[in-house]
């Protein structure tokens, strides 16, 4: 069952009615059952994967929690000295670390086999062929379970939090299963933390017209982004980026901009649907976007784009990597040859590149994504090293303190982001070849050569797309200080319903539809 389908709104409405009719103590159980039904629509067999992750994570976390409880009891009973207490705690943490490592290896291993094993075999076969070996390794095909990266990262974040004793483990396996499999976020995130969701998922709730109304409006806005913009723009973008030998010159620029807008409208639209659906049940999931295209630097951009993944990577990859023994030893060695100041930066370099290598691999089993991740990490580190120069420039150049310079920073960041995205869809060498053609072959495309017409964006479609993008950007700008829904709430009831009904008509009349709305799944469903 897809979020953009005839079945999903019907499923959601029926579930909402039941949710608010049954006694509050049973509401979380209904959400768990509904989540299982939702996921099973793709095949009952695929329920095995989230079930394995749920049960192994729960068992290991409870085992670690029991060790912590026994350790605290031992300290209370024996009142040991400082050194004895430290040694006891080291032994307990060593045993807990083994359990955590087992959970990480098992669940990330499942993810690696299902998502990356074919990629691994392809590279092994290519290497063997290069060395002159005959034959190749063959592996059967399997379908990647929906949302496996999301629920795996979310579960492993929980396991590491329990290890670090940020909170006690959940003792009820069914309640933990709801945290892992809550159906709105199961498909495309966001990646939630247990301490953020614990008091929301299991709390009994009374019907709130405001929550349902707010959630429904946000879902409608998500459908606008998806159906009016993303699904109209997507086919043209795919044609441009998949045919670099045909679409060069100015089409490279259009492809860069189009791919970025398409991806944002698709992913952010999906997030609006997910967060809106959850809000109808009185549950607030973490935001995943915060007006990224108003960012003044690439670092700020990535703090506003796919925020839940970036926070996960920062907490569970960046901090451990920057404080690891390997980083410390490497920094010490570098300090001998490069000086203390340069050596002190090594842990940050290692952690940053580890984060972006992980981000690239997370996005897909392809060298494109690996190179994309490393390219982002490299640019971010260069930008960090140039911070001092930027500061000096700001001191001596009055222009840097004007609004026009802020506009320049925003445009520069958007163009840089769009250029880096080229590593996702072009091979490494093609990125630079297309970048060169952008300048050497730049010019107004000839309408008679058939290339523009082949994109399918003519007449009304082009006008609707342009108006939709302007509308989306205007709403994003309006939300800089206050939510549009909050602004609308203060208007008369007739104005509120008139605006919402107008948006509904826009989606209904100008949306791009296929059979059952499922012609174009969300880009991030594959992750």
Tokens of 339: 């000086």
Summarised one tens digit per residue, pLDDT across range 217-265 is 999 999 999 999 999 999 999 999 999 888 888 899 999 999 999 999 9
pLDDT at 392 over 90: no
Tokens of 129: 């062929």
pTM of the model as a whole: 0.88
pLDDT averaged over every residue in the chain = 88
* Residue 521 binned pLDDT confidence (cut-offs 50, 70, 90): low
Q: How buried is residue 266: exposed, middle or buried, by Cβ count under 10 Å (0-12/13-18/19+)? A: buried
CA distance 493 to 62: 50
CA distance 488 to 479: 12
Contact of 265 with 512, CB cutoff 8 Å? no
Summarised one tens digit per residue, pLDDT across range 340-360 is 888 888 999 999 999 999 999
Compute the average pLDDT of residues 88-112: 94
Provide the percentage of residues in the chain whose pLDDT is more than 70. 94
Summarised one tens digit per residue, pLDDT across range 149-192 is 899 999 999 999 999 999 999 999 999 999 999 999 887 889 99
What is the reported pLDDT for 18?
96
pLDDT at 418 over 90: yes
Compute the average pLDDT of residues 140-148: 74
Least confident of 79-83, 378-382, 410-414: 79-83
Query: Which residue blocks in 242-366 are alpha helix, DSSP H?
Result: 250-280, 298-304, 307-313, 319-322, 325-338, 340-363
CA distance 359 to 377: 10
* Residue 139 binned pLDDT confidence (cut-offs 50, 70, 90): low
H or E element, residue 285? none
What distances in angstroms separate CA 322 from CA 159, 235, 299, 333, 384, one per listed residue? 20, 42, 18, 15, 16
| Distance separating the N- and C-terminal Cα atoms of the chain | 16
Compute the average pLDDT of residues 473-481: 87
Compute the average pLDDT of residues 131-141: 67
CA distance 49 to 44: 10
What is the reported pLDDT for 525?
52
pLDDT at 295 over 90: yes
* Residue 408 binned pLDDT confidence (cut-offs 50, 70, 90): very high
What is the reported pLDDT for 497?
86
Q: Which residues touch 309 (CB under 8 Å, ≥6 apart)?
A: 153, 189, 190, 191, 359, 362
Lookup result for tokens 């990646």: 191
Residue 125 φ/ψ, nearest 5 degrees = -65, -40
Q: Which residues touch 14 (CB under 8 Å, ≥6 apart)?
A: none
395-410 b/e (C-beta count within 10 Å ≥ 16 → b): eeeeebeeeeeeeebb
CA distance 120 to 407: 44
DSSP state, 41? Answer: T
What is the reported pLDDT for 19?
95
What is the reported pLDDT for 195?
92
pLDDT at 447 over 60: no
CA distance 414 to 396: 26
CB hemisphere CA count around 187 (13 angstroms): 26
Q: How buried is residue 89: exposed, middle or buried, by Cβ count under 10 Å (0-12/13-18/19+)? A: middle
Three-state DSSP at 289 gives strand
* Residue 40 binned pLDDT confidence (cut-offs 50, 70, 90): confident
Tokens of 149: 């990266």
What is the reported pLDDT for 496?
84
76 compared with 58, residue with greater pLDDT: 58
What is the reported pLDDT for 495?
86
Least confident of 161-175, 274-288, 480-494: 480-494
What is the reported pLDDT for 423?
93
Chain centroid to Cα 166, Å, comes to: 24
Provide the percentage of residues in the chain whose pLDDT is more than 90. 55
CA distance 259 to 241: 8
What is the reported pLDDT for 85?
87
What is the reported pLDDT for 442?
61
Least confident of 52-56, 203-207, 479-483: 479-483
What is the reported pLDDT for 5?
81
341 compared with 523, residue with greater pLDDT: 341
What is the reported pLDDT for 519?
45
Q: Which residues touch 442 (CB under 8 Å, ≥6 apart)?
A: 249, 250, 253
Tokens of 328: 């410390």
Q: How many residues does the chain have?
A: 527
CA distance 364 to 377: 17
What is the reported pLDDT for 458?
79
Give a three-class secondary structure readout of 112-174: HHHHHHHHHHHHHHHHHHHCCCCCCCCCCCCCCCCCHHHHHHHHHHHHHHHHCCCCCCCCCHH
Q: Which residues touch 33 (CB under 8 Å, ≥6 apart)?
A: none
pLDDT at 522 over 60: no
CA distance 56 to 39: 19
Three-state DSSP at 53 gives helix
Q: How buried is residue 73: exposed, middle or buried, by Cβ count under 10 Å (0-12/13-18/19+)? A: exposed
* Residue 518 binned pLDDT confidence (cut-offs 50, 70, 90): very low
């Amino acid at each position: 069952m897809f979020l953009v389908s005839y079945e999903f709104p019907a499923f959601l409405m029926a579930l909402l009615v039941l949710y608010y009719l049954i006694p509050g103590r049973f509401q979380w159980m209904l959400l768990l059952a509904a989540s299982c039904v939702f996921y099973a629509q793709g095949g009952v067999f695929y329920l095995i994967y989230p079930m394995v992750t749920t049960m192994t994570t729960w068992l290991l976390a409870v085992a670690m929690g029991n060790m912590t409880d026994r350790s605290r009891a031992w300290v209370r009973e024996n009142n040991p000295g400082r050194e004895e207490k430290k040694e006891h705690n080291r032994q307990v943490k060593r045993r807990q670390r083994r359990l955590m490592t087992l959970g990480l290896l098992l669940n990330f291993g499942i993810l690696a086999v299902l998502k990356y094993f074919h990629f691994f075999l392809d590279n092994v076969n290519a290497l063997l062929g290069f060395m002159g070996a005959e034959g190749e390794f063959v592996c059967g095909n399997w379908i990647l379970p929906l949302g496996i990266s999301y629920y795996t990262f979310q579960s492993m974040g929980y396991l590491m939090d329990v290890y670090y004793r940020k909170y006690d483990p959940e003792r009820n396996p069914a309640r933990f299963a709801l945290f892992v499999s809550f159906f709105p976020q199961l498909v495309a995130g966001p990646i939630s933390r247990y301490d953020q969701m614990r008091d929301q998922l299991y709390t009994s709730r009374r019907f709130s017209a405001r929550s349902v109304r707010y959630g429904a409006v946000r879902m409608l806005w998500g459908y606008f982004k998806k159906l009016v913009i993303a699904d109209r723009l997507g086919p043209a973008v795919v044609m441009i980026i998949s045919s670099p030998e045909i679409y060069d010159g100015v089409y490279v620029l259009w492809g860069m901009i189009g791919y970025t807008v398409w991806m944002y409208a698709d992913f952010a639209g999906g997030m609006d649907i997910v967060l809106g659906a959850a809000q109808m049940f009185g549950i607030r999931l973490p935001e995943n976007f915060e007006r990224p295209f108003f960012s003044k630097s690439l670092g700020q951009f990535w703090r506003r784009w796919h925020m839940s993944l970036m926070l996960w990577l920062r907490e569970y990859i960046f901090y451990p990597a920057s404080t690891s023994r390997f980083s410390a030893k490497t920094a010490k060695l570098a300090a001998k040859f490069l000086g203390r100041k340069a050596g002190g930066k090594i842990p940050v370099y290692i952690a940053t590149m580890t984060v972006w290598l992980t981000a690239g691999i997370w996005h897909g089993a392809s060298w494109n994504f690996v190179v994309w991740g490393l390219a982002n990490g490299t640019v971010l580190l260069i930008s960090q090293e140039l911070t001092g120069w930027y500061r000096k420039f700001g001191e001596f150049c009055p222009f840097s303190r004007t609004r026009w310079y802020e506009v320049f920073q925003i445009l520069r960041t958007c163009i840089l982001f769009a250029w880096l995205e080229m590593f996702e869809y072009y091979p490494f060498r093609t990125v630079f070849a297309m970048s060169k053609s952008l300048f050497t072959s730049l010019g107004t495309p000839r309408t008679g050569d058939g290339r523009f017409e082949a994109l399918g964006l003519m007449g009304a479609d082009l006008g609707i797309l342009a108006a939709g993008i302007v509308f989306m950007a205007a709403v994003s700008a309006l939300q800089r200080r206050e939510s549009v829904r909050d602004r609308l709430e203060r208007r008369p009831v007739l104005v509120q319903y008139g605006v919402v009904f107008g948006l509904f008509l826009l989606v209904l009349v100008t949306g791009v539809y296929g059979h059952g709305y499922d012609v174009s799944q969300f880009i991030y469903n594959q992750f």
